[in-house]
Amino acid sequence: MYKSSLLFLLFFLPTFAKGTDIFLADKYFTEQKYALAKKEYLASAKVGNPHAYYQLGNMYHKGLGGEKDAVNAMLYFYLAAEQKFHNSEQIITNILDSLPKENQHSILQVLEDYKKSHGIERKITQYFPVLETGDPIETIKFNGEATRKTVYHPQDIELDDYQPNTFGGDLSFDASSDEAFSDDSIELVRSTPRTPFLIIDHDIASDGSIRYTSEVQKFGHYQPLLEQFILFPIEVPMHGEQAVDFASRTYLGAAAFNKFALIRENEKMYEQVVRQTRKFRKGGTVNDQFNLAMLMLNFPWIEQEDTEAEQILLRLSETGHSPAMYEYGFKLYREQRDLAQAIHWLSEASKYGLVRAEYRLAKILQTSPWVIKDEKKALFWFESAMSKGDIESHIAAVDILFNSKNKEVANYDKAVKYLLALTETANNDPRYNYLLALKYRTGANRNIKLAVENLETAILRGQMKNWDVSSWQDLLTRITTGNIFVTDYEN
C-alpha cells in the first residue's frame, strides 16, 4: 500500500507559482490557521526549504489542515532529512523501523527515487545559481585592486545642504523583519550629531554608477549624504577585460569613524554601542547573538576575536536563522571569498522568503560572471520578492519580461500588466519611462509618439544620475529613423 501510494504521489504533488514566505506560514501555523499555513509551506517547499518540509511532514502526520496522510508525511520528512533538518533523520528511522521488515527496502528505494526527482540537487537545477566550471575563478577588480573603497569619511563627500538635526537610533536588528534595523528603540539616544551615520548595501552597475540602495543602518539627517553618494564616481567593476555589475556595502559619514572619532563627535552614541554590546554578549537568545555579530560588523573597533562576527553568523546560519544566512553569504560574496559558500547561504536565505536575499540571488543569476546566467531563474526570484512589495525587483521583472531573448521567459502582456502596477511607486525612476517606451513601441498599446516621449524622459533622468544611457539613445535613434516613425508620430 505504501509503495503504490508513494509512486502515485511522485506525479501528482501540487505546485504553486507564488513567492515563498516561510514567516507568513509560521504565523498562520501559530494562529492555528492550518489551511493557510499549509498553502504557504507548500510554496516554500517548492524551492526546497527544509523547515517547510518538516512542518508539512508534521501537519500530514497529525492531520492539521486536512486528513492525516502517512505517505505525504513520510515524503516530506525524508526531504527534510536530506538536509539534516532538526530531528527529521531520526523520524524517518523510526517510521521505517515501524514497518514490516520485508517492506522496508522497497519503501526506502521509493523514497530515494523521489529524492532524485524532488530533492535538493533537483531544486538547485530548477531555481538556484550554478557556478561556472573550468578555470579558477577570476576576481572582480576596481582600478586593478580586488577590493574597492567602502568607507567614506565626511570630508570625502560634499554636503552643501546638510543641516544637523535631532538624532534617534536603535542598535538592534529586528531579525523577523526584512528591514535591517528596527525603528522601535530599545534604548533611545538623542543628541545633535555633526555628521549623519549611514550604512548601505547597493549595486554598482557596469558603468560605475550607483543603482539600487538599501539602508542597513541610519542615524541623523542622512538623506543628503545618500543623495550625494549616489552621484559620487565609483570605480568600474572589471572582470578581466569586461565591465560587470557588482554589489557592495558602504559606510558613510559617521559610520566611517573609528572609536576615538565617535567619542569626539557623539559620545552618547558611543556609550550606547558599548552598553548594547555588553547586553548582547550576556544575552542567551539567538537574536542577541545576531545583534552582537551585526554590531561587530558595523562598529569594527568593538573588542572582538578575529572573525568572531563571521563565526557567530555561520553558527546561526547552520541553525536556520535566515537573516544570518543572508549577512554571512553576502559578506563572502562582496568580499569575493568562497563563492560557493556565499551562493549557498544566499540561496538558503532565499528559501525562507527573505526579500533582500531573493533580490540578491536574482541579480547574481542575471549578472554575475561567476555563475551560469539564467533569466528564467532570475525572474522567479524577482517575482517572489516583487510579490512582497519590493519595487526594485518589480522593475527588474518587467525589464526581463520585455527584453529577454528566451521565448519561454519573454512575455509582453505580463510585462504590461506588471508595469501598470508600478505607476504610483516608480514614476520618477528613469527605468520606468524606459519600460513605458517599450510598452508603447509595439503590441496592442503601440503609440510611437508616447514611446519617443518616454524614452527621451528616461535618457534625461538617467543622465542626471550619471548613468550610461547609450543603449537607450541607440534605441531612440532606431525608433526615430525611417518613414514609419514620421507617419506614426504625426498622428
pLDDT of amino acid 9 = 33
- The residues, ordered by sequence, that sit 6+ positions from 310 with a Cβ below 8 Å of its Cβ are 293, 328, 331
Amino acid 209 reads: S
Q: How far is CA 132 from the centre of its chain?
A: 21
Burial class (CB in 10 A: 0-12, 13-18, 19+), 118: buried
> What is the arithmetic mean of pLDDT over 284-304?
95
The set of cell numbers assigned to 14 is: 501540487
Please write the tens of the pLDDT for every residue from 433-479.
999 999 999 888 899 999 999 999 999 999 999 999 999 999 999 99
In contact, 249 and 334? CB cutoff 8 Å: yes
Asked which of 378, 411, 445 is the last residue of a domain, the reply is: 378
> What is the model's pLDDT at position 188?
35
Same domain, 370 and 415: no
Domain containing residue 104: CATH number: 1.25.40.10
Range in 1-10, 105-114, 165-174, 258-267 with the lowest mean pLDDT: 1-10
What gap in Å lies between CA 457 and CA 38, rounded to an integer? Answer: 46
Instruction: Label residues 445-476 b or e (16+ Cβ within 10 Å = b).
Output: eeebebbbbbbbbbbebbeeebbebeebbebb
Q: Which of 26-35, 167-176, 372-381, 382-391 has the lowest mean pLDDT?
A: 167-176
Query: CA angle at residue 136 from 131 to 137, to 5 degrees?
Result: 55
Q: Which of 93, 127, 161 is the last residue of a domain?
A: 127
Does 483 have pLDDT greater than 80?
A: no
Confirm whether 490 is domain-assigned.
no
Q: How far apart are the first and last CA of the chain?
A: 71
Do both 215 and 267 map to the same domain? yes
- pLDDT of res. 177: 57
d(CA 471, CA 434): 11
* 212 and 262 share one domain: yes
Mean pLDDT (the chain) is 87
Q: What is the pLDDT of residue 18?
A: 57
41, 55 Cβ separation under 8 angstroms: yes
The conformational region for residue 198 under phi > 0 = left, psi -120 to 50 = alpha, else beta, is: beta
* Maximum Cα–Cα distance across the chain: 82
pTM tops 0.95: no
Q: Are residues 122 and 35 in the same domain?
A: yes
Tell me: the pLDDT tens digits for 18-66? Answer: 578 899 999 999 999 999 999 999 999 999 999 999 999 999 999 999 9
Long-range contacts of 145-149, Cβ-Cβ distance < 8 Å, separation of 24 or more: 146/336, 147/335, 148/204, 148/234, 148/235, 148/237, 148/248, 149/235
Looking at the structure of the chain, the number of domains it has is: 3
162 and 107 fall within a common domain: no
Q: What CATH number is attached to the domain comprising 291?
A: 1.25.40
Same domain, 416 and 362: no
Look at residues 321, 356, 378 and tell me which one is the last residue of a structural domain.
378
Range of the domain at 170: 143-176+192-378
Query: Which three cell numbers, joined as nine digits, stand for 96?
Result: 521505517
Nearest to 245, CA basis, from 111, 158, 364: 364
**Residue 232: C-alpha distances to residues 148, 225, 245, 293, 489 (Å):** 14, 10, 17, 30, 38
Statement to judge: residues 235 and 360 lie in one domain: yes
